[in-house]
Amino acid sequence: MGRNTRKRRSSMATKAIAASAALALGGGGLIWANFYASAHESNNSAPNWTKSAAGQVATIACPDVGQQLTDVPDRARGEVDGELATLDRQITEFYQRLASTRDAQAKDASFVQNTILGPLKDRRKAIIDRIQLEINRVGGNAPDSLDQLAPCTGTPAEQPQTTDGQNQNGDGQNQNGDGQNNDGQNGDGQQDGGGQDQGQDQNGNGGQQGGGNGGQAGNGPTAADFVDITQVQPNVKAKPRRTGNASTGTFTTRCGVNANKNFNTDNVIVAPGVTNGAHHTHDYVGNQKINAFSSNDTFLQGGTSCQNKNDLSSYYWPVLRLQDGTQEFDQNRDGGGKEGNVGKILTVKQAQIKYVGSPTSKVVAMPQFLRIITGDAKTTTNGLANANAHWSCTGFENKVQLTEQYPICPEGSSVVRTFAFQSCWDGQNIDSANHRTHVDFADANGNCRNGFKAIPQLTMRLVYDVPRPVIENGQVKNAYAVDGFPEQLHKAATDHDDFISITTGGLANKIANCLNRGQRCA
């Protein structure tokens, strides 16, 4: 397939967060933050968003077609995924045109509409028409409202994320607010932040290029995307109370930190057969042969970085980069520097992967080849409805979890990214047309909604040593940022994580049994 691009997106909505409780346990004072209401919570030190003096358009916001497609016949999914990938590629191309024509925009108030947004609408309309035809051709029923999703808008510089309360998920679900992680244990790794480098690099880092969008590539992050974590009020909430039927065990799998630099810019879940479907680089641990052209037929041949050789699951997430002027291996490649993902790729210091149970029920084993995406790579234009980013610092994880800003950690403390995946499954499907509706978060009390079953909840904790960012004169030095689509401006809320369950030797059942028996397994 010669098409190129796509990575999941989400809804234009918002919902107040609920990062949850943390337990401080023995074993050297190790801390694991529990994100029961695994979602986003605006911290009390939110930035003061300001528009540029000229109201210059900073990025492009396009309605999410993919999230409207909750019922696509299997026979049409391959073609529809390819067309959705084309929509994403179009947005990337027109954003790059936007970023490279700042002088023309300043001279002509109608330039953006006539040269960028108008032509983009026409291109999108043609693709949307093809999507409707492909669905209807195999007996499906494409929503008539898809045509309304063709127009895109220009978002002014430093526009805050959407908070209009709308949710475009076709089934009315909101991925946030109900996630869970009911284990408080961190069985490996020290909580030290040693080796923190306080030196400042002046090499292009923090230059306010691209119309005030910040970042050394001109598309973020900006100073407003960072906050001193010591100045944020505690926002971590208590987890739900366990019932007598709770599955209280834990299962830890050790799969390394991608020290062998297994990278690619594909995403086989949302853009199978599409090279550079993610438009950004992923770290991979677990299965070692995952790319756009992998399939259920080849997953079992991939080998694994996990110590447990029966764990062939794929765990992958966008890399974190230090914007210090480093010319990385992908500086001139798609998904890398050509799309605004620049700087030194940071290797995780600790990668802790753990499955935990439900506070209200036993769990069933994950089905083979189950796909789960958590978070949303497109929150800058989609809003926060499906955001599931958790940023913190060692020593603060049980107090503060951030979604919309990156933390500036104190000396001796390390940056922490944490993910708590959906823990409820519809009992039938290993994927869904929009890659969301076959799984769900438990509610605030820890219960799955009717028709869904509790499964082991995948939790991940990634720890990095990052030189401390410094804000000076409205600019950030030593900026770091997660890889993403260029039009998303490297916002913290765009963080996300991907997982495919692939096991042999009865491992899926062993994990479920361990949790149900209240054991601590590895």
pLDDT band at 56 (very low <50, low <70, confident <90, very high): confident
pLDDT digits (tens, 9 = 90+) for 449-487: 999 999 999 999 999 999 999 999 999 999 999 999 999
Alpha-carbon gap, residue 98 to 260, rounded angstroms: 37
Question: 3-class DSSP state for residue 284?
Answer: strand
DSSP state of 311: B
pLDDT of residue 165: 31
The answer to whether residues 59 and 381 touch, using CB atoms and an 8 Å cutoff, is yes
Q: Which of 18-22, 173-177, 276-280, 473-477 has the lowest mean pLDDT?
A: 18-22
The predicted structure's pLDDT at residue 206: 37
Average pLDDT over residues 326-347: 97
Tokens representing 481 are 């940022």
Cis before 221 (ω within 30): yes
Which of residues 183 and 336 earns the better pLDDT score? 336
Residue whose pair of structure tokens reads 């998303």 in the numeric block: 488
**Whole-angstrom distance, CA of residue 80 vs CA of residue 132:** 9
The per-residue pLDDT for range 380-425, each reduced to its tens digit, is 988 999 999 999 999 999 999 999 999 999 999 999 999 999 999 9
> For the segment 63-114, what is each residue's pLDDT rounded down to a tens digit?
999 988 999 999 999 999 999 999 999 999 999 999 999 999 999 999 999 9
351-390 tens-digit pLDDT? 999 999 999 999 999 999 999 999 999 999 889 999 999 9
pLDDT of amino acid 212? 63
User: 339-349: string of b/e by CB count within 10 Å (b at 16+)?
Assistant: bbbbbbbbebb
Pick from 18-27, 179-188, 424-433: least confident: 18-27
> Does the pLDDT of residue 232 top 90, yes or no?
yes
**Is the CB of residue 324 less than 8 Å from the CB of residue 201?**
yes
Q: What's residue 198's pLDDT? A: 31
- Element of type H or E holding 315: strand 314-318
Question: Per residue in 450-487, is it b (16+ CB within 10 Å) or e — as a string?
Answer: eebbbbbbbbbbbbbbbbbbbbeeeebbbbbbbbbbbb
Q: Which of 44, 14, 98 is nearest to 400 (CA)?
A: 44
Secondary-structure percent of the chain, ordered helix, strand, coil, rounded to 5: 20, 20, 60
Average pLDDT over the chain, rounded to an integer: 84
- For 368, the token pair is 């083979």
Task: Tell me the CA distances in angstroms from 440 to 23, 42, 443, 457, 501, one per residue in order.
Answer: 24, 22, 9, 11, 16
Phi, psi for residue 76 in degrees, rounded to 5:
-105, -10
Q: What is the DSSP letter of 113?
A: I
For residue range 116-127, what is the model confidence (pLDDT) as tens digits? 999 999 999 999
Work out the pLDDT band at 156, boundaries 50, 70, 90: confident
- The pLDDT assigned to 157 comes to 61
Q: Name the nearest CA neighbour of 38 among 409, 424, 396.
A: 424
Reply yes or no on whether the pLDDT at 38 is more than 80: no
Residue with tokens 């016949």, as numbered in its chain: 73
Tell me the average pLDDT across 22-34.
31
Tokens encoding 253 = 């799998």
Q: Is pLDDT at 31 greater than 80 in this prediction? A: no
Model pTM greater than 0.85?
A: no
Local structure of 63: helix, strand or coil? coil
Mean pLDDT along residues 209-219: 75
The whole-number pLDDT of residue 55 equals: 55
Q: Please give the pLDDT value at position 482.
A: 98
Query: What is the radius of gyration, based on Cα positions, of the chain?
Result: 22
Instruction: Name the DSSP class of 510.
Output: H
pLDDT of 158 reads 56
Read off the tokens for 474: 């409205």
For the chain, percent of residues with pLDDT exceeding 90? 76
Task: Return the structure tokens found at 182.
Answer: 């009911």
Side-chain-side CA neighbours of residue 354 (13 Å): 29
| pLDDT recorded at residue 185 | 37
- Top-confidence residue, 51 or 301: 301
Taking the chain, what is the end-to-end CA distance rounded to the nearest angstrom?
A: 40
SS3 205: coil
How many angstroms separate the CA atoms of 337 and 327, rounded?
9
Average pLDDT on 170-192 reads 37
pLDDT of residue 228: 98
Q: How would residue 349 be classed by pLDDT, with cut points 50, 70 and 90?
A: very high
